[in-house]
Structure 1
Amino acid sequence: MTDRTVAVLNQKGGVGKTTVTLGLASAAMSAGRRVLVIDLDPQGSSSWVLGVDPETAVVSVGDVLAAKPKSGALLDAIVVSEWSDLIDVVPARPDQQQLEDGTATRLAKVLAKSAAALDEYEAILIDCPPSLGNLTTNALAAARHALIVVEPSALGLRGIGGVADVIDSVWDLHNPDLELSGVVLNRVPAVSNEAERRIDELGRIVGKSAIWQPPIPQRVVFNQAVGERRPIHSYGRRASDATEVFDRLWATMRRTLRSR
């Protein structure tokens, strides 16, 4: 495990874990920093947006976790993204869904064996699947930091206690260095009394200081960036408010990583 490994998670699908993972990677790239994205979600959305088709990935993170003969070391699975040579990815493949039953510490051991080579990355971002199964447990067992992505709605906050419980369980059983380092609010409307109530509720659950600022606003350009497989920073002035948010969140992440 490296102190710069971050598991981006929530058990609910559709809250924007991949948007946050890729937005942080885009901000890092814009700042000239190297980042490795490990795609643990069998849907492979991060891999696809970064230019690696999960259906045709030669070596995937699933191969690494399953210890198949062709997999070799983690380094064999790292692919340079189409965004930039600053952003690398360990791609997903749909068949890694079968790894939901398996050893909880496999990824941690693989990262430990490659620790020296991983020192070149400013951060290692693990995009978790929308579940609290074995793949997410592997991410948490391998990470120094857990970053929860939440949408400020009634459904978005459902199960947040379960996520915190899993983090506590992994801390107790597998990884005493794991910390809940922050919560990122995604798809926050400009004006909404309901959203404000949910944000207050979230603050009572995790503590206001755990919520990273600023929140990520609702913007059509995020969906366009995913559809066009582009970093959000490539949209220039059209996405200036969105890129400013991710630049500030990236700055918070760097401070968090350096403080440990």
Structure 2
Amino acid sequence: MIRIAVANQKGGVGKTTTAINLATALAAIGWRVLLVDLDPQGNASTGVGIGHAQRIRSSYDVLIGSASVSEAAVATRVPRLDLLPATVDLSGAEIEMVGLEDRAHRLDKALAAEPPGRWDIALIDCPPSLGLLTVNALVAARHLLVPLQCEFFALEGLSQLLQTVERIRSAFNSQLSILGVALTMFDRRNNLSGAVAEDVRACLGATVFETVVPRNVRLSEAPSHGLPALIYDLRCPGSEAYVRLARELIGRLPALAVAA
């Protein structure tokens, strides 16, 4: 199973929107997808229509060892897309895991314990921090996808995240690689958006995906209906951008693309 962490410690950059819609796009072409909600706010869970009453077990239970991933995962209304939901209990997970010897490897071990073949790919939606939950995601993942808002302060956060990735590589997970940086919330009317995009491409080159996700009200509306934007309005500019981004992502995972 391919594992991709969707991470950026800065909030409001489109992590959850990116994770939900990429997961939906991959499920739509036939891949069996697991979306892991590792954010105590549980926005990814809400965004695919899984209410609090349906979150009998959650990623919290998986991290503390009281449930397996298969036991906690629930099916969504999107065919082939399963969700490992999040609850507010995750807020205390970091404190509870501090005393555990394998605290950085809890998610990795839980995913590794799953029988091969149930899911082709897992997308892990991380909280807006570089705490123990995000560390668990980066240790479990083999690839990192970074949504980056086209604003000045986003650049400062990116350097911190890249430093954290290097520390994770050297201490816990030498296989972690940066799959790509996805530029989000791009406003063509704003010169700053274009300037930030140019700076990021100049700095990171081919690491940056060609697709740029625009600011789009339909992307913001979709979660309130418990639907991915690709289902809520497939023809809106935001959804079309995520379809293109999914194609690029597939191109960077050639082994899985061929197998699928």
How high is the TM-score relative to the length of structure 2? 0.90
Aligned-residue offset at 1:157: 2.1
Equivalence for 1:242: 238
Equivalence for 2:93: 99
Q: Report the Cα distance in structure 1 between the residues aligned to 2:13 and 2:167, rounded to whole angstroms.
A: 23
Equivalence for 1:224: 221
Aligned-residue offset at 1:85: 3.0
Equivalence for 2:130: 132
User: Are 1:160 and 2:161 matched, yes or no?
Assistant: no
Aligned-residue offset at 1:66: 0.7
Aligned-residue offset at 1:142: 0.3
The one-letter amino acid paired with 2:93 is L
SS in 1 for 2:253: helix
Identity %: 32
Structure 1: any 5+ residue segments left out of the alignment? none
Equivalence for 2:70: 75
Q: Report the Cα distance in structure 2 between the residues aligned to 1:166 and 1:139, rounded to whole angstroms.
A: 12
Equivalence for 2:171: 173
Q: Report the Cα distance in structure 2 between the residues aligned to 1:162 and 1:149, rounded to whole angstroms.
A: 14
Alpha-carbon RMSD: 1.7
Equivalence for 1:53: 51
SS in 2 for 1:216: strand
Aligned-residue offset at 1:115: 4.7
SS in 2 for 1:213: strand
Q: Report the Cα distance in structure 2 between the residues aligned to 1:15 and 1:54, rounded to whole angstroms.
A: 24
SS in 1 for 2:192: helix
Q: Report the Cα distance in structure 2 between the residues aligned to 1:137 and 1:254, rounded to whole angstroms.
A: 25
SS in 2 for 1:175: coil
User: Are 1:113 and 2:108 matched, yes or no?
Assistant: no
Please say if residues 55 and 93 of structure 1, whose CA atoms lie closer than 8 Å, have aligned partners that are also in contact.
Answer: no
Aligned-residue offset at 1:31: 2.2
Equivalence for 1:198: 196
> 1:60-112 CA distances to partner (integer Å, 9 max, x unpaired)?
110110113xx2x211011001x223110000010111122430111111111
The one-letter amino acid paired with 1:97 is S
Please say if residues 26 and 232 of structure 1, whose CA atoms lie closer than 8 Å, have aligned partners that are also in contact.
Answer: no
Aligned-residue offset at 1:227: 1.1
Please say if residues 27 and 79 of structure 2, whose CA atoms lie closer than 8 Å, have aligned partners that are also in contact.
Answer: no
Structure number with higher strand proportion? 2
Q: Report the Cα distance in structure 2 between the residues aligned to 1:27 and 1:137, rounded to whole angstroms.
A: 26
> 1:28-82 CA distances to partner (integer Å, 9 max, x unpaired)?
23323321100000000001121222465111110110113xx2x211011001x
SS in 2 for 1:20: helix
Structure 2: any 5+ residue segments left out of the alignment? 98-102
Please say if residues 51 and 229 of structure 1, whose CA atoms lie closer than 8 Å, have aligned partners that are also in contact.
Answer: yes
User: Are 1:8 and 2:6 matched, yes or no?
Assistant: yes
Equivalence for 2:100: none
SS in 2 for 1:104: helix
SS in 2 for 1:212: strand
Equivalence for 1:86: 80
Q: Report the Cα distance in structure 2 between the residues aligned to 1:141 and 1:168, rounded to whole angstroms.
A: 12
TM-aligned CA distance change 1:54 to 1:201, over 3 Å: farther
- How many equivalent pairs are there? 250
User: Are 1:25 and 2:23 matched, yes or no?
Assistant: yes
Q: Report the Cα distance in structure 2 between the residues aligned to 1:152 and 1:67, rounded to whole angstroms.
A: 39
The one-letter amino acid paired with 2:253 is L
Q: Report the Cα distance in structure 1 between the residues aligned to 2:225 and 2:247, rounded to whole angstroms.
A: 26
SS in 1 for 2:201: helix
The one-letter amino acid paired with 2:65 is A
> 1:112-138 CA distances to partner (integer Å, 9 max, x unpaired)?
11151xx34332100000000000000
The one-letter amino acid paired with 1:253 is L
Aligned-residue offset at 1:166: 0.9
Please say if residues 27 and 243 of structure 1, whose CA atoms lie closer than 8 Å, have aligned partners that are also in contact.
Answer: no
The one-letter amino acid paired with 1:180 is I
- After superposition, where does 1:142-153 map in structure 2 within 5 Å? 142-153=140-151
